[in-house]
């Protein structure tokens, strides 16, 4: 009895999480333009999606920005976390706290401040400013993820590597990097998803000639939800499912 | 040991902020010896080891190896290797990869590396476990891997930082013997750090007893145990009973000391003069206990047995003397002496054989 209740509760939680997505996926195959009634199976929304040039362009732009910003943030963030762990320098604690502040600060504040920053620098908003903005808000997540793993390490590991003849670089390459890999992948994954679906910061930091998917969808939705968007969302859901699965398998391999 | 020291520390000082961990320390380490740095935690013994390894930088002084200064040399350029207290095995590597790590940084001949790794594994008796990961090994096995990982690089000096302290009692005794065997087989210098005096005494050729960043005494285990040069060494290494007294008479190499009104003849190693206050030190096993005062004839201190602790091969007695002190005595059984078992509260007399005491 108790066991059944427990499973029931668990099922409720998961249904709550996944039913909306499931409905969206189902409707992406619904042969009806407006209605919420089931009118029959069709793949036409998917073909329309592929044919929609501007939407596909925004999609590709989004993937490029997400990939570039997450990779940059991961490299910078990993090095940053390593520096926080390995070296003692004045202001270390203050700097680490500021990393948290960036992470906690509301997107709207960040968007506006970055926009002002770019204007002061005289940079025209577009792909580059968008990329810089995304790297900025992804970076703290990588630092925090990697640092939490690295601070669990036995400090002697570094000493051992040096004692056995490794230079600082060899130690980082052969010891730190492999040991940190699960955290690095997690940080990268987090950055990638954060960048891919960011609306607020992107709204302020991209220009009129560089459209990305979340903003495009946002503007499209104002005219009502088209089934094409359902199809697009279903594709993106599949994409994230694949990424998470791959990441899970890779980190499992590394353990 | 007339030969030149392999490692020489001169005026070595290390300060962490305002704390002086090592205080102008001089130490010569000789080729092939098993030297132990013994001391309580925080006495700077691990810091000395890390300074030799190059993992800390000197605040002052000089460390030289084979006659050449080591001061600025980074750890990866020194011909020493360290076994750490926590083993610090690389968790993402197999046993083989752990041991091969140092070799792979220096050479690329895979065949040679494999050969040397298997030699090292043989030496620590771990052959066949090459493909295990550290988390699949027991504490003792991890310890052996850490050893193999260090010695495979053929260092001139192997530094060991409390390598046995994480092991349980049985395993520790086993590893003590193993360590001695490896030391003998390799013939290289071992510098061993521990706070465990039994470990130090049973393994070392020489012991340097450290306290507050300085060496209090250096010598063979027998010297350290039987002829401590100061109160710190006497108290830290083994148990000891201390009697306060003053010298009433000096005669060649011996003196007569008044302890609570009893006149004890002692060996005057300290060269004390008449009237000097001295402390007479006695190990528990050097004290004799008798039931009647005049059995041995000479001077004796009287008291009563407070506690009797039977330990199998020995009986430990806690005796409170009439003069106020409490002393510990260890009595060994031997076959023709069956009256060693005293009762609590029984009155006894204690004395010792001339020359078994140390005076400070």
CATH value at residue B346: 2.40.50.140
| Element of type H or E holding B256 | strand B254-259
Q: What are phi and psi of B163, to 5 degrees?
A: -70, -20
CATH assignment at residue A157: 1.10.3720.10
Asked if the structure places residue A31 within a domain, the reply is no
Same-domain pairing of B178 and B275: no
CA A147-A151-A152 angle, to 5 degrees, is 125
Each residue's pLDDT tens digit in chain B (360 positions)? 456 789 999 999 999 888 889 999 999 999 999 999 999 988 999 999 999 999 999 999 999 998 888 888 888 888 999 999 888 999 999 999 999 999 999 887 899 999 999 999 998 888 889 999 999 999 889 999 999 999 999 999 999 999 888 888 888 888 899 899 999 999 999 999 999 988 999 999 999 999 999 999 999 999 999 989 999 999 998 889 999 988 988 888 888 999 988 888 888 887 778 888 889 999 998 988 888 766 666 788 888 899 888 887 888 889 999 888 889 998 887 656 666 678 888 888 888 888 888 888
**Cβ-nearest to B76 among A162, A178, A179:** A162
Reported as a pLDDT band with limits 50, 70 and 90, residue A233 is: confident
Please enumerate residues of B whose Cβ is less than 8 A from a Cβ of A.
50, 53, 55, 74-76, 80-82, 84-86, 88, 90-92, 101-102, 105-106, 149-150, 153
Q: Are residues B121 and B211 in the same domain?
A: yes
CB contact under 8 A, B88 and A179: no
DSSP assignment of B164-210: TTTS-HHHHHHHHHHHHHHHHHH--EEEEEES-HHHHHHH-SEEEEE
Query: What's residue B276's pLDDT?
Result: 86
> Based on the number of CB atoms within 10 Å of its own CB, is B51 exposed (0-12), middle (13-18) or buried (19 or more)?
buried
Contact (CB<8Å) A159/B55:
yes
Structural domain tally of chain A? 1
Q: What is the pLDDT of residue A255?
A: 47
Mean pLDDT of A250-255: 61
**Which pLDDT belongs to residue A52?**
82
> Are B164 and B205 contained in the same domain?
yes
Partners of residue B105 in chain A, C-beta under 8 Å: 164-166, 170
Are B199 and B78 contained in the same domain? yes
Residues B186 and B83 grouped into a single domain = yes
Residue with tokens 């999606």, as numbered in its chain = A49
Q: Which of B90, B133, B156, B161 to mutate to test the interface with A (most CBs of A within 10 A)?
A: B90
User: Is A34 part of a structural domain of the chain?
Assistant: no
CB atoms within 10 A of CB A42: 14
- pLDDT single digits (tens) A53-100: 888 888 899 999 999 999 999 999 999 999 999 988 898 999 999 999
Residues spanned by the domain of B251:
241-359
What stretch of H or E contains A98? helix A92-104
Place of tokens 């891919």: A196
Residues B76 and B200 in one domain: yes
User: What are B192's strand-pairing partners?
Assistant: B36, B160
Q: Say if the Cβ atoms of B84 and A170 lie within 8 Å.
A: no
Q: Residue A46 domain-assigned?
A: no
Regarding an ipTM greater than 0.85, the answer is no
Whether A160 and B84 lie within 8 Å, measured CB to CB? yes
Asked if A146 and A189 count as a contact pair (C-beta separation under 8 A), the reply is no
| Closest residue in B to A164 (Cα–Cα) | B102
- Does residue A13 form part of some domain? no
Of B188, B214, B236, the position where a domain reaches its end is: B236
Same domain as B174, residue B57:
yes
The neighbour count for residue B81, using CB atoms within 10 Å, is 26
What is the average pLDDT value for chain A, to the nearest integer? 88
B120 and B41 co-located in one domain: yes
Q: Would residue A42 count as lying in a domain?
A: no
Single residue among B211, B236, B261 that ends a domain in this structure:
B236
- With an 8 Å Cβ cutoff, are A159 and B81 in contact? no
Nearest-CB residue to B53 (from A154, A163, A166): A163
Domains of chain B: total:
2
Domain C-terminal end among B188, B210, B236: B236
Q: Are residues B295 and B200 part of one domain?
A: no
Does B212 lie in the same domain as B67? yes
- Predicted confidence band of residue A179 (pLDDT cuts 50, 70, 90): very high
B247 and B98 co-located in one domain: no
Considering the domain architecture, whether residues B30 and B164 belong to the same structural domain is answered as yes
Q: Which chain A residue's Cα is nearest to B80? A: A163
| Boundaries of domain holding A244 | 53-254
Size of interface A-B (CB pairs under 8 A): 59
Q: CATH code at B44?
A: 3.40.50.300
Residue A26 included in any domain: no
When scoring A163, A183, A185, A254 by the number of chain B Cβ atoms within 10 A, the one with the most, hence best to mutate, is A163
User: Given an 8 Å threshold on Cβ–Cβ distance, is A157 in contact with B150?
Assistant: no
To the nearest whole Å, the CA of A246 is away from the closest chain B CA by: 20
């Amino acid at each position: 009895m108790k066991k059944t209740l427990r499973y029931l509760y668990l099922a409720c939680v998961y249904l709550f999480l996944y039913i909306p997505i499931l409905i969206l996926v189902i409707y992406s195959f619904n042969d009806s333009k407006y209605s919420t009634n089931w009118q029959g199976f069709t793949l036409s929304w998917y073909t329309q999606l592929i044919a929609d040039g501007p939407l596909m362009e925004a999609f590709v732009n989004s993937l490029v920005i997400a990939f570039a910003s997450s990779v940059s943030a991961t490299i910078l963030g990993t090095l940053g976390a390593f520096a926080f762990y390995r070296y003692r320098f004045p202001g270390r604690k203050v700097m680490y706290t500021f990393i948290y502040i960036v992470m906690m600060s509301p997107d709207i504040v960040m968007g506006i401040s970055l926009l002002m920053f770019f204007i002061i620098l005289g940079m025209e908003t577009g792909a580059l400013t968008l990329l810089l903005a995304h790297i900025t808000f992804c970076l703290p997540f990588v630092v925090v993820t990697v640092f939490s793993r690295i601070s669990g390490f036995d400090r002697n590991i570094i000493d051992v590597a040096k004692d056995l003849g490794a230079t600082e670089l060899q130690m980082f390459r052969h010891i730190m990097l492999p040991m940190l890999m699960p955290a690095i992948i997690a940080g990268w994954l987090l950055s990638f998803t954060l960048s891919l679906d960011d609306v607020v910061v992107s709204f302020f930091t991209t220009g009129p000639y560089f459209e990305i998917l979340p903003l495009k969808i946002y503007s499209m939705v104002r005219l009502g939800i088209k089934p094409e968007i359902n199809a697009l969302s279903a594709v993106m859901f599949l994409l994230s499912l694949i990424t998470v699965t791959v990441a899970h398998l890779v980190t499992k391999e590394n353990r | 040991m007339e030969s030149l020291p392999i490692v020489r520390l001169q005026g070595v000082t290390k300060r962490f902020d305002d704390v002086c961990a090592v205080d102008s320390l001089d130490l010569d380490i000789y080729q092939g010896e098993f030297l132990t740095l013994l001391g309580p935690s925080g006495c700077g013994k691990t810091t000395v080891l890390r300074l030799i390894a190059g993992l800390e930088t000197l605040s002052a002084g000089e460390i030289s190896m084979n006659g050449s200064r080591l001061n600025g040399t980074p750890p990866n350029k020194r011909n020493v290797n360290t076994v750490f207290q926590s083993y610090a095995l690389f968790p993402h590597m197999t046993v083989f990869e752990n041991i091969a790590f140092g070799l792979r940084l220096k050479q690329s001949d895979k065949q040679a590396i494999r050969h040397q790794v298997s030699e090292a594994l043989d030496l620590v008796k771990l052959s066949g476990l090459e493909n295990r990961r550290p988390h699949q090994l027991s504490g003792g096995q991890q310890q052996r891997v850490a050893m193999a990982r260090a010695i495979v690089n053929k260092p001139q000096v192997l530094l060991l930082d409390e390598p046995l302290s994480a092991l349980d009692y049985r395993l520790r005794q086993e590893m003590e013997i193993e360590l001695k065997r490896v030391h003998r087989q390799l013939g290289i210098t071992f510098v061993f750090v521990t706070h465990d005096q039994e470990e130090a005494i049973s393994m070392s050729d020489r012991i340097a007893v450290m306290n507050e960043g300085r060496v209090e005494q250096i010598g063979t285990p027998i010297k350290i145990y039987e002829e401590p040069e100061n109160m710190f060494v006497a108290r830290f290494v083994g148990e000891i009973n201390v009697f306060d007294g003053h010298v009433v008479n000096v005669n060649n190499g011996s003196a007569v000391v008044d302890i609570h009104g009893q006149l004890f003849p002692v060996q005057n190693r300290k060269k004390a003069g008449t009237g000097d206050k001295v402390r007479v030190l006695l190990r528990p096993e050097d004290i004799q206990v008798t039931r009647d005062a005049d059995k041995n004839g000479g001077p004796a201190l009287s008291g009563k047995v407070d506690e009797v602790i039977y330990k199998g091969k020995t009986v430990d007695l806690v005796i409170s003397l009439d003069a106020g002190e409490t002393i510990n005595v260890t009595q060994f059984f031997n076959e023709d002496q069956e009256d060693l078992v005293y009762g609590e509260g029984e009155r006894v007399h204690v004395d010792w054989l001339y020359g078994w005491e140390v005076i400070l």
